[in-house]
């Protein structure tokens, strides 16, 4: 594997051709992924892909005029210290903002590559050529900004961001909140009933673990089978079921783990503190994402959790 300063001018141009082709395909993939839900941003990436193809054609013509018809295959991964791109599927999974950030980073990296290559060149003509390419990439970044302003004015950007927030709430927050509420509240009764019935931390832990895992599996399947998400816009059943199931387990495990402490009184005190934290988190999520007034959210959650907790303690003491 060579360093950048070990490449010949022909290899540097070949690497530039490969980079421009890869970046153009990344932008085209972003546009394809966003076209249904973010049409304005998709058009921005379409414009950027066209710009990349124009640069690639310019580079190929320059290479042919100086070095001949054969362009050697030199890729980013063949050059030590070069910037490796994240896999497209990884960036897509992070959402539209991650794709916008990745595009801006790609343009900066490309300009930096050309300026670095120009600084290492000892041939005056090649140095000028590489400097021109750096300016072209800087111009490409300005073109991307212009395309964004043209294709994605403030109202369109705001509308797309609001749509993204709505989908996030429907597909992640709502099933996660349902799972967290079920795991945090419904498992209180069996955990504290077992704790006060036996006064044995290990027994309480086993009951809490079984209740959490069982509730998580049940809630995950229930959420996944509720609907396919096509009409409701709630996303894929697999994602919703996974989020709901994991959050259910997390909600139940939170106040179960303290019972790994052998001292029953200490374990119960710690578990009670964890319960308060769990209920406060639920109330915060309702206020943050569901527009529920904070006092109302806290009152309802604390009341429900308190009733279930009291039920478990009373049943345990009766035993």
CATH of the domain at 7: 1.20.1260.10
In a domain, 236, yes or no: yes
Rounded Cα distance, 38 and 43, in Å: 9
The single residue listed with the structure tokens 């106040």 is 255
More confident residue, 64 or 125: 64
Q: Is the pLDDT of residue 248 over 90?
A: yes
The reported pLDDT for the residue numbered 230 is 61
In a domain, 267, yes or no: yes
Number of compact structural domains in the chain: 2
In a domain, 111, yes or no: yes
Do 10 and 130 share a domain, yes or no? yes
Rounded Cα distance, 181 and 300, in Å: 12
Do 308 and 252 share a domain, yes or no? yes
Do 177 and 231 share a domain, yes or no? yes
Query: What is the span of the domain harbouring residue 137?
Result: 2-152
Do 299 and 171 share a domain, yes or no? yes
Least confident of 115-119, 183-187, 295-299: 115-119
Q: Given 123, 152, 181, which residue is the final one in a domain?
A: 152
Do 40 and 147 share a domain, yes or no? yes
Least confident of 15-24, 91-100, 231-240: 231-240
Q: Is the pLDDT of residue 173 over 90?
A: no
Q: Is the pLDDT of residue 147 over 50?
A: no
The reported pLDDT for the residue numbered 161 is 62
Rounded Cα distance, 45 and 60, in Å: 22
The reported pLDDT for the residue numbered 225 is 85
For residues 131-153, average pLDDT: 61
The reported pLDDT for the residue numbered 159 is 60
Do 234 and 191 share a domain, yes or no? yes
Do 198 and 288 share a domain, yes or no? yes
Residue 249: band (very low, low, confident or very high) from pLDDT cuts 50, 70, 90: very high
For residues 76-103, average pLDDT: 76
Do 124 and 179 share a domain, yes or no? no
What's this model's pTM, rounded to 2 decimal places? 0.53
In a domain, 157, yes or no: no
Of the chain, the percentage scoring pLDDT greater than 90 comes to 20
Residue 141: band (very low, low, confident or very high) from pLDDT cuts 50, 70, 90: low
In a domain, 40, yes or no: yes
Average confidence score pLDDT of the chain: 82
Do 141 and 40 share a domain, yes or no? yes
Q: Given 95, 128, 152, which residue is the final one in a domain?
A: 152
Do 186 and 235 share a domain, yes or no? yes
For residues 62-86, average pLDDT: 81
The reported pLDDT for the residue numbered 202 is 93
Least confident of 33-47, 136-150, 164-178, 231-245: 136-150
What 8-state DSSP symbol labels residue 263? S
Q: Is the pLDDT of residue 66 over 90?
A: no
In a domain, 158, yes or no: no
In a domain, 99, yes or no: yes
Do 170 and 240 share a domain, yes or no? yes
Q: Is the pLDDT of residue 103 over 60?
A: yes
Q: Given 126, 152, 178, which residue is the final one in a domain?
A: 152
Do 244 and 107 share a domain, yes or no? no
For residues 32-44, average pLDDT: 84
CB atoms within 10 A of CB 190: 23
């Amino acid at each position: 594997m060579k360093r950048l300063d070990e490449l010949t001018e022909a290899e540097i141009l070949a690497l530039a051709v490969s980079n421009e082709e890869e970046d153009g395909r990344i932008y085209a993939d972003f546009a394809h992924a966003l076209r249904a839900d973010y049409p304005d941003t998709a058009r921005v990436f379409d414009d950027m892909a066209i710009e990349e193809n124009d640069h690639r054609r310019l580079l190929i013509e320059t290479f042919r005029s100086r070095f001949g018809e054969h362009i050697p295959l030199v890729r980013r991964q063949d050059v030590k210290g070069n910037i490796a791109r994240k896999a497209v599927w990884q960036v897509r999974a992070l959402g539209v903002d991650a794709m916008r950030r990745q595009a801006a980073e790609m343009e900066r990296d490309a300009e930096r590559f050309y300026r670095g290559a120009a600084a290492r060149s000892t041939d005056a003509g090649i140095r000028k050529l590489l400097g021109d390419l750096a300016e072209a990439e800087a111009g490409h970044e300005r073109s991307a900004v212009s395309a964004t302003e043209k294709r994605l004015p403030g109202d369109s950007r705001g509308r797309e961001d609001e749509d993204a927030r709505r989908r996030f709430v429907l597909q992640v927050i709502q099933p996660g909140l349902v799972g967290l509420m079920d795991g945090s509240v419904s498992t209180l009764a069996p955990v504290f009933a077992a704790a006060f019935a036996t006064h044995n931390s290990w027994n309480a832990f086993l009951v809490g673990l079984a209740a959490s895992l069982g509730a998580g599996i049940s809630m995950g399947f229930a959420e996944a089978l509720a609907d396919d998400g096509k009409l409701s816009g709630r996303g894929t059943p697999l994602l919703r079921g996974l989020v709901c199931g994991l959050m259910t387990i997390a909600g139940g495990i939170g106040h179960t783990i303290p019972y790994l402490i052998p001292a029953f009184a200490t374990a119960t005190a710690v578990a009670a503190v964890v319960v308060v934290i769990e209920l406060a988190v639920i109330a915060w999520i309702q206020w943050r994402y569901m527009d529920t007034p904070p006092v109302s959210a806290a009152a309802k959650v604390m009341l429900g959790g308190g009733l279930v907790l009291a039920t478990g303690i009373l049943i345990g003491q009766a035993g």
